[in-house]
Chain A
């Protein structure tokens, strides 16, 4: 991907930065310009470092950029402050996953864009 597009998302991908609406308190990840409640004032916050698996799968047929990693686990995780995130769950077998299991977010390499492309980093989850 073009480097500005990668660079712009770094605060979210590297540090899980989010925004909290000063009106209704809802935390948005990634940050938004307008909250679902209509308010436009936010304060900076972060997604909680731990959360719970809401649903999960194992991807066996992957897009080209991820073929080398397949099979890999994907889950929707609800962080402790209510934010829901789609993330890989790594360092575990597919059979170890279950709805309700606790995870924590870790910083990892996601994928490489070919031989000369950007190496994409971001968050993944591991079982705790």
Chain B
């Protein structure tokens, strides 16, 4: 396999983008990434998107996006793995470049959630239709079940979960692309409207439109460019049971653990080598479980670890410097690539007010459903 680098990144602002269509936002992000990479052509394309069919009635968006990008002949396909569609598209593009088959590959993600669809229903299609959704469960509901189990097993508190939202909103307040770039307090989080007990609105990622893209190329090409070289040194993916109830332990996100172990092994790094991480905080409790599964803290201690500030911008291991899904927004298919954009920006030293001091290694962890699929990528500044 060849070594692979990220040579370009681009994303739209996340939010309610009423004046822009699904294709508009993808092309906007793709052009930004192409301009950033200063390449004149791309060899193929992978588009991560969870359910454009349900959100805007449009499938077959690989070809659509290639067409509207002005590259109607290149190979292009959509990749779907619920909320980790973007991360999986990245992985597919990584292997295409690493294999030597194609030099320049565009990997992107897009979702247009604010066009009038029943969003709660559309998102719930990532859970087991016949044995979870049929009973009326929702995604906030599934994560609330995980939260209650975590509170029961480890004494995790609502205040500790709220600390995730407070931190991510602080980081997002420094990010002009964030959907909700403003601070919140623990009291505001705890007193917000309950969505699924014990999770409040301010513990749930929002409904967002947005797109993000990255350009991948072999290291030899990346080295000829003027930008700092950001290598992809590890990729790992894993799955778990689709239905949350079928897992032995509701507080363990096995797919996250296995995907991280696999990515760490390929990269030859340990959790203590990681300078910063973008993780899938679709709900406050998710980030607490994920920092445990990524090995930043032992199992069960994610709550106090967060509350004590170890995952803050100036903490031991900054997590979700972009504002995460909570503050930056979560256009589901775009999220995995937007995480990559943040890590690359940080490793380039170009993250402005959010910049972490001299990061060497960053990871992006993107997850689908209630944790039934997860993908982790490890990036290193050359």
Residues on A facing B (Cβ under 8 Å): 9, 12-13, 30, 54-66, 69, 72, 74-76, 84-88, 94, 99, 110-111, 120, 122, 124
Contacts and interface: CB of A to CB of B under 8 A. Distances in A.
Contact of B146 (A9, A55, A69, A111): A55
B134 A55 contact: no
Interface in B99-136: 118, 120-121, 124, 128, 130-136
Contact of A61 (B120, B148, B243): B120
A86 B138 contact: no
A63 B121 contact: yes
Contact of B138 (A61, A120, A122): A61
Contacts of B130: 9, 30
B195 A62 contact: no
A59 B138 contact: yes
> A interface, by DSSP: helix, strand, loop or mixed?
strand
Contacts of A122: 134-135
Nearest to A67: B120
Nearest to A94: B197
B197 A64 contact: no
A58 B245 contact: no
Interface string B191-227: 0011111110000000000000000000000000000
A86 B196 contact: no
6 contacts: A9-B130, A13-B134, A63-B133, A72-B136, A75-B145, A110-B135
Contacts of A94: 197
B20 interface: no
B1 interface: no
Contact of A57 (B121, B133, B144): B144
A122 B120 CA distance: 22
Contact of A76 (B133, B145, B195): B145
Contacts of B198: 57
A5 B310 CA distance: 49
Given A61-B138, A99-B149, 15 more contacts: A55-B145, A59-B138, A60-B194, A60-B195, A61-B120, A61-B140, A61-B195, A63-B138, A64-B121, A65-B136, A74-B196, A86-B132, A86-B137, A86-B243, A110-B136
A86 B245 contact: yes
Contacts of A56: 145, 148
Contacts of B145: 55-57, 74-76
